[in-house]
A and B are shown apart, each in its own frame.
Chain A
Amino acid sequence: MKPAIALEGISKSFPGVHALSEVSLSLYPGSVTALIGENGAGKSTLVKILTGIYQPDGGTIRVDGAEVHFPAASAAAKAGVTAIHQETVLFDELSVAENIFLGHAPRTRFGLIDWTKLNADARQLLSRVGADIDPTIRLRDLGIASKHLVAIARALSIDARVVIMDEPTAALSYKEIHELYELIDRLKADGKAILFISHKFDEIFRIADRYTVFRDGRMVGEGLIAGTRQDDLVRMMVGRDVGQVFPKQQVAIGEPVLTVSGYRHPTEFEDINFELRRGEILGFYGLVGAGRSEFMQSLIGITRPSAGAVRLDGKVMVIRSPAEAIEAGIVYVPEERGRQGAIIGMPIFQNVTLPSLTRTSRSGFLRMAEEFRLAREYTSRLDLRAAALDQDVGTLSGGNQQKVVIAKWLATKPKVIILDEPTKGIDIGSKAAVHAFMSELAAQGLSVIMVSSEIPEIMGMSDRVIVMREGRMVGQYERADLSAEKLVRAAAGISETTP
């Protein structure tokens, strides 16, 4: 079979980084190719080259055997290459139909946009992807899953021959994921060549026909999924054998530190009641959008709950801002590292000391020596790799940025630390370091809440797990009777389990 599109010897470098070195990738009509690799392996650079956002420094792109160039995104679209992105990159303020046809709208005889035909065509495309959506409503009124369907309808509208799906299931619910699988099967039957990027091995084995593995900007393996084992792919991905070992220490769990009762919010969550004990790691599992982060952020005063009480060491606390939470001894390491956690334009030591400035300063004046001392202490405990402490955080790798972020909140000497998806998007080495450190913290008597959507991490690290779905607690399990199946069922609302 001839590939619909083939990349040969593609290289791309940015100042100081070789993002891709001579990679090759072929996508075949009617076939799903999974692109596998750790974060930073070069997957997103490749997608940008395929869609004409970046131009390669070297190598060739062939469509049906003929060499092509994509100097801009429009050229790639014309060649029939389209991408559906991690965060749906569409236009909230425009109508569904316009989102589908923006850039290639049907025209009237006078060259003006033909809205009647546009809406009719949109309706037809939406029904082809099985979406029951009114094409004239604004996109912002749709849920995430429907937006994905709109993105797919857009892909069909330009008569794409190559469809790139960049972690399309990341934000979808269990049911929506299965609908997506069916749709991919239909696209395959239509003869589209599909590139499927995912971190989830179960779905790769469910829908992919072929795989290509990237590591450090190089192609390190490719082949048919049939006959390949998960372990083989992992080994190619990380370049060594990795047993997922969680360094959870057994800790004597002490008295309750944090008690939350009757916590509710008008639209985000309700009926949250639990106790967190000294030395305990309490896992919060759930699907993306279950309301876990929203609840945690209300604990530290980002949003206000409408009712409920928090007791810390038996004392009722009213927390109206993160500043007050830090003072009280509750800290939150946010999920979105780049947006909420790290201040990438500032040096490491200033990031670390930002929440602790009242301690390192004297009557409002900074004391640099104290700041360096504090930063040194906490970054070395997390085994940070950096050239110097006055290096900007933005120059570090994702894993090291996360270490700085954790060090920042630990340096406030909290009683309770809430870690929201602490290992999301960081490399395996840093992941292990974070896990080891988390365990050590609990052993030292800190109380830890860990929000995670990764079953192995939740099962490996938690003493107890609370499952949330649609803003409510739907299950609570001790470490002894944890099972992956129970967690998944509770989170997806399949079982009859209720608290």
Chain B
Amino acid sequence: MAEAPMTTRHIPDRLQGRSARVLKSWESLLVVVAILIFTVNSFASPYFLDPWNLSDATFNFTEKALIAFAMAMVVISGEIDLSVASIVALTSTAMGYAATQGFDTPALVAVGLATGLACGAINGLLVTRLGLPSIVVTIGTMSLFRGIAFIVLGDQAFTSYPASFAYFGQGYVWWVFSFEFCLFLGFALFYAALLHLTNFGRAVYAIGNNQTAALFSGVRVARVKFTLFLLTGLMSGIAAICLTSRLGSTRPSIALGWELEVVTMVVLGGVSILGGSGTIGGVVLAALIMGMVTFGFGLLNVPGIVMSIFIGLLLISVIALPILYTRLKRRMAH
């Protein structure tokens, strides 16, 4: 790069035209997709636009999205947590067991939160203390946590939850707004603030971009990562409370395969799987899109396993399409 002669120059804070680029961002694309799907759905099915139907539709994504917020931060920091669905299973099992011991609803919630946190702490310690790759650690704990649920339950189920416990998954705060949906909105705001407005969030981006440089710059890398795994465990615990409350029962296979849907949601939301970039806004949009698609399929009576094919295709294509697009553009330019 050629150096200009020595003159003190004023460097502006912001590049010109950045606001124009926002319009071209991944999030704007997601908004367009969301509107499209919304429109298609409302034409495809007369039942779609009913407020209560829409409200029911939110249950398709709220629990997974709660986990996805924390997962987004883990992925931005360059790690991954594949054990989230197993944490949900173990947490649900722990609550189910506590319920059979006669715990009341507040105590069950405490058990749920504590189990989630404990699982997150185990992941966090293995990754930060022993320096193990998170992908293998969480494949291991994925097996371990759900394995414990299987040991406890075998082919049985816990179903004896107190009546008041049903509120978290079935209650409504006001009109069509369910407790879960309000929780989703609240945590969306909380995580958006945490990631985009705080020192902690900045540290997460720095670690994901260049962990060594972040460490040298005084970022407490191990502490931040540990906190992230703790948060993921906590959110999985909260999701488990909602899901268990909604289903009213616990089997060891509960939330099977959710890790895939959560990771898909995060990646669809524009978070780089290699770490370093992504926004909570994108994840919120991705959650809405996936929820509406699932709901739309549901209205068309498409079975669940076919939906999972769709999610698998979606996961690969949201990463592949931008790559193919830039390649095509470059070829056109030549």
Contacts and interface: CB of A to CB of B under 8 A. Distances in A.
B46 interface: no
Contacts of B219: 323, 354
Contact of B209 (A346, A358, A384, A388): A346
A153 interface: no
B11 interface: yes
Given A340-B212, A383-B8, A323 B14 contact: no
B8 A380 contact: yes
Closest 10 CB pairs of A and B: A397-B1, A323-B218, A388-B15, A326-B218, A345-B209, A355-B218, A429-B3, A343-B210, A354-B217, A357-B199
B200 to A, nearest CB: 7
Interface of B: 1-4, 6, 8-16, 18, 197-203, 205-206, 209-210, 212-220, 276-277
A387 interface: yes
A322 B216 contact: yes
Given A300-B216, A345-B210, A389-B12, 4 more contacts: A216-B2, A322-B217, A366-B199, A390-B18
Contact of B12 (A364, A365, A388, A429): A388
Q: Which of A355, A399, A412 is the most central at the interface, judged by chain B CB atoms within 10 Å of its CB? A: A355
Contacts of B277: 345
A116 to B, nearest CB: 37
A146 interface: no
A321 B2 CA distance: 38
A341 interface: yes
Contact of B276 (A345, A387, A391, A430): A345
23 contacts: A322-B215, A323-B219, A327-B218, A340-B213, A343-B206, A343-B214, A343-B217, A345-B277, A350-B202, A354-B206, A357-B199, A357-B203, A364-B199, A365-B199, A366-B202, A372-B13, A376-B11, A376-B13, A388-B12, A388-B13, A389-B13, A396-B1, A412-B218
Contacts of A349: 13
B198 A365 contact: yes
Nearest to A409: B217
Given A323-B219, A339-B212, A357 B202 contact: yes
Contacts of A344: 209-210
Nearest to B200: A364
Contacts of A332: 216
Contact of B11 (A355, A386, A399): A386
Q: How large is the interface on A (under 10, 10 to 19, 20 to 34, 35 or more residues)?
A: 35 or more
B197 A383 contact: no
B205 A346 contact: yes
A389 B14 contact: yes
Interface in A388-434: 388-391, 396-397, 399-400, 408, 412, 427, 429-430
B202 to A, nearest CB: 6
Contacts of A327: 218
A342 to B, nearest CB: 6
B13 A354 contact: no
Given A216-B2, A354-B202, A365-B197, A342 B213 contact: yes
Contacts of B210: 339, 342-345
A44 to B, nearest CB: 16
B13 A383 contact: no
Contacts of B214: 343, 354
B205 A384 contact: no
Nearest to A297: B216
A304 to B, nearest CB: 14
